[in-house]
Amino acid sequence: ALHRSFVHRVFVFFSFMLSSFVVGLRVRKVDLVWGTSPPLFQGWTAWLLARLKRVPFLFEVRDLWPAFAIAVGVLTDRTFIRMSEWLERFLYRHADRVMVNSPGFIAHVTGRGARRVELVPNGAEPGMFDPADNGEAFRASHHLENKFVVLYAGAHGMSNDLGVVLEAAGLLADRPEVQVVFLGDGKEKAGLQARAAEMGLTNVTFVSPVPKNEMALALAGADACIAILKPLEEYKTTYPNKVFDYMAAGRPVVCAIDGVIREVIAAAGCGIFAQPGDPAALAKVIRSLANDPERSRRMGMNGRRYVEAHFSRSMLAEKLAHILEEMTA
């Protein structure tokens, strides 16, 4: 199923590459072509259009592809890997600028030929979130009243290592006031639900995904939020978007991701690190926060202030606008 799904995604990527090229040719007045990866193949379309239109080419790297796909075992065909890595290097070398959303990506792209790299993180929009909201509606609708709610919000996929969170929940069975909530969807969700039932976990709740504009209400219902990825070297380079939303919502972060995002959380004083892949370490951090709700709230507000100062989308949009103006001057 995984292989079929990946083949389907590759087919979709190539289809989009062709259709976007045709559409791009029809656009008459162009000042700049902005390509984004993944999908990596779309970057080739953007480069070709930029050359044909004789305008600058900005290549945005949101994830290190194919490195991430190789690391999690999704991409295994050697021919396809070689082709993807060649295209990746080609695009870095031929882009007028490469834009990354994490400082952890800079060494990777420069080491493969990028000449000029711009860092523009995704950040968060603080105005979307009210740290003072206690999330009564979300709690009531999911029977979470009088609970210390530890929320994971996001994809339920291979990379997210959510089995570790289930095992941590099992270790917290002696703390009935602690409820672990999984909000979102993905390929692994059904398996996680079945495993939780097999383990007899009553301190775990699965919630359907909500639109982005309702995420603030869900985060308001949390006392702490989990960020977790598999313990792979590649993931030490990433800035997961959810962490900035957690911070903007004023909620402390249980961070089971090493690397650059751990450094942000440490600098902000807005959470506690748990060794990735270690359920006991994760459970220990959750206990620590549940034991001291006042400390948890202080950490949450530290995160809110740090996002406002360093990762506000309005501030980052100004930086992006300046880059675009420079490139098209």
Mean pLDDT of the chain, nearest integer:
96
Assess whether pLDDT exceeds 50 at residue 30.
yes
Whether residue 253 sits in one domain with residue 134: yes
Whether residues 277 and 166 share a domain: the answer is yes
The three-class DSSP label of residue 46 is helix
Statement: residue 6 has pLDDT above 70: no
Instruction: State the residue range of the domain holding 182.
Output: 126-310
On whether both 323 and 292 belong to a single domain, the answer is: no
Query: Would you give the DSSP letter of residue 92?
Result: H
CATH number at residue 306: 3.40.50.2000
Contact indicator for 196, 204 with CB cutoff of 8 Å: yes
pTM of the model: 0.93
pLDDT at 1 (0 to 100):
43
Q: Are residues 104 and 227 in the same domain?
A: no
Tell me the C-alpha distance between 44 and 84, whole Å.
11
Each as own residue / partner, the long-range contacts of residues 162-165 (CB below 8 Å, 24 or more positions apart, any chain) are 162/188, 162/192, 162/228, 163/192, 163/195, 164/228, 164/256, 164/276, 164/277, 164/278, 164/279, 164/282, 165/226, 165/228, 165/279, 165/282
pLDDT bracket for residue 2 (50, 70, 90): very low
Angle of helix 189-199 relative to helix 162-171, nearest 10 degrees, comes to 20
In the predicted model, what is the mean pLDDT of residues 203-214? 96
Instruction: Indicate if 193 and 266 belong to the same structural domain.
Output: yes
pLDDT (tens digit, 9 = 90+) per residue, 244-303? 999 999 999 999 999 999 999 999 999 999 999 999 999 999 999 999 999 999 999 999
> What is the total count of domains within the chain?
2
104 Cβ neighbours under 8 A, 6+ residues apart: 236, 237, 238, 239, 259, 260
Q: Do 268 and 192 fall within a single domain?
A: yes
Percent of the chain at pLDDT exceeding 70: 98
User: Is there a contact between 221 and 249 (Cβ–Cβ < 8 Å)?
Assistant: no
Q: Say whether pLDDT at 159 is over 60.
A: yes
Residue 153: phi and psi, rounded to 5, are: -120, 125
Pair (89, 185) in one structural domain: no
| Tokens of residue 192, six digits | 């996680």
Q: Give 140's contacts (C-beta < 8 A, 6+ positions apart).
A: none
Residues 116 and 254 in one domain: no
